[in-house]
Structure 1
Amino acid sequence: MGWKVLVTSLPMLATIEYCQKHFEAKNFEVVVPEIRGQQLSEAALCEIIAEFDGVLAGDDPFTANVLETGRKGRLRALVRWGIGIDAVDVKAAQRLGIRFSNTPGVFNDEVADIAIGYLLLLARGLHKVDAAARNGQWLKYKGRSLRGKVAGVVGVGNIGKEIVRRVRSFGMETIGYQRHALDPDFLAETGMRQVEGEELFRSADCIFLACSLNPENYHLLNARAFAMMKAGVWIINVARGALIDEHALLDALECGKVGAAGLDVFENEPLPAHHPLRRFEQVVLGAHNGSNTHEAVLRASKVAIDLLARFLRETH
């Protein structure tokens, strides 16, 4: 039996030739829509979703309205390529009997690596030295040593654990905030202390955001949180932009409460051309690209295809 599958994941579409053999092996009839920007709109999805048995999705808004429209037709399964699930109404999918998953665990090393990349840029200003050298200058940037500094990791899941392991190699003390109790073996291995969020804000010299986005932690880093932090704290966000209230961050940068930031993600993406964050030379700006390596993209695509095929077999 063949399955009609909608593919909207941009990384998957960028490697469609690799994916094609896997589509054929699973007997997928794949449809690729025209996507302007980063994702389809809710209205565009509602127009076509009922035609498909399954979806390999990117950042598209799979709202209750979209899922209900799809369920009235053929839709039985949805796999979100990647980790974040904030664009999917998971409760609606469960209520409607639509099988859903992301692709957990596929980017642990890649996102942790890029978090460390931001850390080193903030500490040593390598990007500034490079820019100066290209302009014929010989900049002697006075950086900061990492040994003895306190790294606080918000969200000690798969990615957060890898960040902890990496910063420990620099001689940094590590503390982490996670809602549930962490595995004692991991704590013993890394020496990380599990603390409450407010203690992390008050104690950390550098705060890494590695948690998922949900209604409870929207704008987790707001004016109140920044007020608790050490003067000159560094902020590194490799999770979701809306974890940070950007207006509060701008104020914290202006007054020096936040000394530097490495931001791979933003509330609105791509980052608007005239966004005020662009004014701060102590801010390193990314492009929501933490997971994007050749190997990781192929790995995630294979996992997503296998998951969708299994869900479709189980629901028909």
Structure 2
Amino acid sequence: MTLDQCQDRLAAEGLDVVVPQIQQQMSESELCNIIADFDGVIAGDDPFTAKVLEIGRKGRLRVLAKWGIGVDAIDLEAAKQLGIYTSNTPNVFGDEVADIALGYIILLARQLHRMDAAIRRGEWLKIQGTSLRGKTAGVVGIGSIGKAIVRRLHTLGMEVLGHDVHPIDPAFCQETHLKSVALDLLLQQSDCIVLACNLTPQNYHLLNDRAFAQMKNGVWVVNVARGALIDETALVTALKDGKVGAAALDVFETEPLPLTSPLLRFEQVILGSHNSSNTREAVLRVNQLAIDHLVRDLNRAASSHES
């Protein structure tokens, strides 16, 4: 969160702000050590487990405002039982994440990153790329981000299959020529598979050995959602045997990605830093929305306590 650009608003609301020094997210033990001191938290992807929330509730914690969309790191049931107000900021990053997904797909198709690196080494690398028009892309998760990805892929002339656990709006399917299909069919027919869904207990390791076995040989995999949607051990095996021809991963099961990860060995894998939503405009927009939710729920909590 760009704190300097929010200071006036935070001061006007009478909030004292503490910002822990972190690289990607705090650990459960780190949260347990400090959580009881705060009335409210604007959270990233930090693990707000039942243990963390219970310790927080025994102290001052009353409000948890999620910065962003995904709430998979928050034990929502525990928060509800403890009377902790929770919120998130849905429908805020569709275009930003879709732009990154599109960028990854174009990089996989034309290998621009490899040519750039070669030229910087004094080489003149010529790579025969892959045309995208007419290829089939499968998008898993047709929420705000998935819809924005579908629109971009349709514009490229790709055939697009979509899968979601909820019914997909028929009007959107008609607008984009999206075909709503079962997951197995999407896996079997797609040349490129893009993950844009929430992480839930039901779809943990959605792409596992069984899923990879169903895919076309040489399929591309793009993940701009959550790292744990992919069984990384299974992905490494699929990369080694050529089942997966290339991958672009903005997220991982462990972040930052450890230097011991075997994914680092594959030239055909593009690695990101969980950064697909990070544009100046989007950050400022979500900052304000998260603060709105924090202030609203702190006031609700205060009113509830007084009554």
Q: Note whether the superposition's TM-score is higher than 0.5.
A: yes
The answer to whether the aligner puts 1:128 opposite 2:133 as a matched pair is: no
Partner of 2:235: 249
2:23 counterpart of 1:21: no
1:225 to 195, 200, 211: 211
Letter in 2 for 1:146: L
Question: One-letter code of the match for 1:230?
Answer: K
Q: Does 1:288 align with 2:265?
A: no
Shift of 1:129: 1.1
For residues 66 and 149 of structure 2, the distance between their equivalents in structure 1, rounded to whole angstroms, comes to 24
Q: Which residue of 1 aligns with 2:189?
A: 203
Structure 1 position 175, deviation (Å): 0.6
1:88-237 maps to which residues of 2 (within 5 A)? 88-237=74-223
What is the CA–CA distance in structure 1 between the aligned matches of 2:13 and 2:100, rounded to whole Å?
33
- Which residue number corresponds to residue 30 of structure 1? 17
In the TM superposition, what whole-angstrom CA distance separates every residue of 1:64-114 from its partner, at most 9, and x where no partner exists?
111112222221110111122111101111111211112111211110000
Residue 68 (1) aligns with residue 35 (2)? no
Tell me how far 1:258 sits from its aligned partner.
0.4
Q: Aligned partners of 2:261 and 2:34: how far apart in 1?
A: 34
Letter of the 2:105 partner, please give it: L
Of 9, 28, 45, which residue of structure 1 is paired with 2:31?
A: 45
Query: Which secondary structure state, in structure 2, belongs to the residue aligned with residue 151 of structure 1?
Result: strand
Give the secondary-structure state (helix, strand or coil) at the position aligned to 2:139.
strand
The AA in structure 1 aligned to 2:5 is: Y
Q: What is the alpha-carbon distance in structure 2 between the residues aligned to residue 42 and residue 201 of structure 1? A: 35
CA–CA distance in 1 between the matches of 2:160 and 2:115?
Answer: 28
Alpha-carbon distance in 1 for matches of 2:159, 2:112:
23
Letter of the structure 1 residue corresponding to residue 197 of structure 2: C
Aligned residues: 302
Q: State the AA in 2 paired with 1:285.
A: L
Q: Secondary structure at the match of 1:297?
A: helix
Alignment partners' CA distance in 1, 2:290 and 2:22: 23
**Equivalent residues in 2 for 1:273-312, closer than 5 Å:** 273-312=259-298
Deviation at 1:36, TM superposition (A): 4.2
The aligned counterpart of 2:305 is: none
Q: Quick check: 266-275 or 251-260, which moved more?
A: 266-275
Per-residue CA deviation, residues 113-160 of structure 1 (Å, 9 max, x unaligned), is 000010000000101111111122221110000011111000111100
Q: Distance in 2 between matches of 1:107 and 1:191?
A: 23
Task: State the distance in 2 between where 1:229 and 1:285 align.
Answer: 22
Tell me, what secondary structure is at the counterpart of 2:162?
strand
Q: CA RMSD in A?
A: 1.1
* Residue range with higher mean Cα deviation, 171-180 or 76-85: 76-85
2:33 & 2:105 partners in 1: Cα distance?
A: 44
SS state at 1:236 partner = strand
Instruction: Give the distance between the partners of 1:200 and 1:41, measured in 2 at CA.
Output: 36
Q: Post-superposition shift, 1:192? A: 0.3
Gaps of 5+ in 1: 1-11
Once residues 82 and 139 of structure 2 are traced to their aligned partners in structure 1, the CA distance between those partners, rounded to angstroms, is 36
Aligned-residue identity in percent: 63
